[in-house]
Amino acid sequence: MTTALITGATAGIGAAFARRLAGDGHNLVLVARDTERLRVQATELHDRHGIEAEVLTADLSDDKGIAAVEARLGDRRQSVDLLVNNAGFGNKGRYLEVPMADELAMLKVHCEAVLRLTSAATAGMKERGRGGVVNVASVAAFVPRGTYGASKAWVVQFTQGAAKDLSGSGVRLMALCPGFVRTEFHERAGMGTDSIPGWMWLDADKLVATALMDLARGRTVSVPDARYKALMGLVKVTPRGLLGGVTSRTGRRYGPQ
C-alpha cells in the first residue's frame, strides 16, 4: 500500500486530498499545526477507509517544523510515494501594509518549505524509480499581485524546472494552480469574500479529482477548471499594467488552501 504525505491537511484543499487519497486506499501522513484536529481527522479517515493515518504536528514557518517533515520524508523504512505541499496562507493588505515578519513567514512556508520538502521527498523517489509531488500554487502566480502571487509564481517555476530535471526518473512533479476555493482560508486571513462572483468558486473535492488525473497524465502545471483555463488564456494576452489594476480591484488572494 502506498503512502501520501499532505501538509496543511486539516482544512480546505489539503483535507480534500486526504479524503480522496484515503478513499483510494493510500496510507497517509497528515501534517499541520493543530495536533487535536489532526488526531480527529486521522481517526475519521482510518475508521471510514481502513487506512493508516499518521499524525505529524509541524509549523512550516519554523525551521524545526520543516526539519521534522524533512526527516519523515527521508525515512527509507517508511517511504512516502506522494507528497502534497499544500500548506499556505495569505496576508490581508497591500505591499508595505503587511508587517515584514508576516511577509517573511509567507515566503518560508510557500518557498523554502516547498523547496526543502520536495527535495527530501524526491531524493528517495528517484532511487526507487517512482513517486509524485503536487505543489499547490494558485492562479495568482500568473498575475502581478503582491508577495502572495510572487511566492506562488516561484512555486510554479520551481516545479516546472525540477520536473524537467527529473524527467525519465519515474518521479512526477506538478504545480496545482486553483482559483477561489471554498475553504477556511479567507476567514483565517480576515479577508471578505462578498465581492467574489459565485461562478468563480470551485469545489475542493472536484478540484482534487482533476489534479490527480492531471498528475497521472504527466502534466507539470494543472489549472483544474475550464473557467479558470479561459481566464488564464485572457491573462496571457492582457498587458501587465492592466492586469495589476484588475487584480487590485478583485482582491489579493486566489485559490486558498
Catalytic residues, by residue number, are 148
Residue 53, classified by CB atoms within 10 Å of its CB into exposed (0-12), middle (13-18) or buried (19+), is: buried
CB 92 within 8 A of CB 191: yes
Q: Cα dist. 52→26, 45, 66, 242 in Å?
A: 8, 8, 23, 49
CB 85 within 8 A of CB 175: no
Which H or E run includes 222?
A: strand 221-222
| Alpha-carbon dihedral angle through residues 148, 151, 153, 159, given to the nearest 10 degrees | -140
Alpha-carbon distance of 157 to 161, in angstroms, equals 6
CB 217 within 8 A of CB 146: no
Alpha-carbon distance of 236 to 256, in angstroms, equals 22
Distance of alpha carbon 114 from its chain centroid, rounded?
9
Alpha-carbon distance of 170 to 165, in angstroms, equals 12
Match 470551485 to its residue by C-alpha cell: 202
